[in-house]
Structure 1
């Protein structure tokens, strides 16, 4: 290693990108990693939707500020959960999470606000979830 802490390509941004590419191309989905990933997507979604809903309750429904504080804590937790995904592809993880978020947002609204998704909501959510599962599980 030289004096500036730079030790060739393997420690450079280009080397990091190459290492990430090599790691992601060697990643293989198993039933265990799929289960873990789905659990993490659901946990992230519950934290994000739930946290957002709690803040919404304070701002839009004049609930106590404890709701907002709890929501903020949940949203902070949401920021960390996707980092636990078994694959290292940031963009793909967040893209796939989007489909789970759509489904969970409708489920949350149904459970806590009595919102009844219509056929268009259900078809759209099904398409979104199907699409992100293709993105997630496509062999690479």
Structure 2
């Protein structure tokens, strides 16, 4: 469930931010802000579903997932294939997220 919540949150956040980008940088109508705002609200909600003992830890681990999802967006939506350095960086970030999520916690 945690992984699904993280990836759902990442897609919602990227879509919401892209809606704002499209309005401000691509000259789209301000109506793009309506679904963008809804998407950002969905992002915030999905992060509350993550099984974590502290919000900060949930957000820290999310950062790695967000980076990988952003590169997926770059490729699938923007049509620019990530290079090996992008992929290597994302792998490092996902490894860090895994350590944060599943690392043993002492008493």
2:10 is aligned with 1:45 = yes
2:39 is aligned with 1:62 = no
Shift of 1:66: 2.0
2:72 is aligned with 1:122 = no
TM-score when scaled to structure 2?
A: 0.92
Gap runs ≥5 in structure 2: none
Q: Alignment RMSD, CA only?
A: 1.0
Shift of 1:94: 0.3
Q: Which has the larger radius of gyration?
A: 1
- Tell me, in whole angstroms, the C-alpha distance in 1 between the residues paired with 2:81 and 2:50: 31
- The answer to which structure, 1 or 2, has the higher relative contact order (CA under 8 A, 6+ apart) is 2
TM-score when scaled to structure 1?
A: 0.71
2:76 is aligned with 1:111 = yes
Gap runs ≥5 in structure 1: 1-35
- Tell me, in whole angstroms, the C-alpha distance in 2 between the residues paired with 1:135 and 1:87: 10
- Tell me, in whole angstroms, the C-alpha distance in 1 between the residues paired with 2:28 and 2:74: 17
Instruction: Tell me the residue number matched to 1:73.
Output: 38
Q: Secondary structure at the match of 1:88?
A: coil
**Dislocated runs of 4+, deviation >4 Å:** none
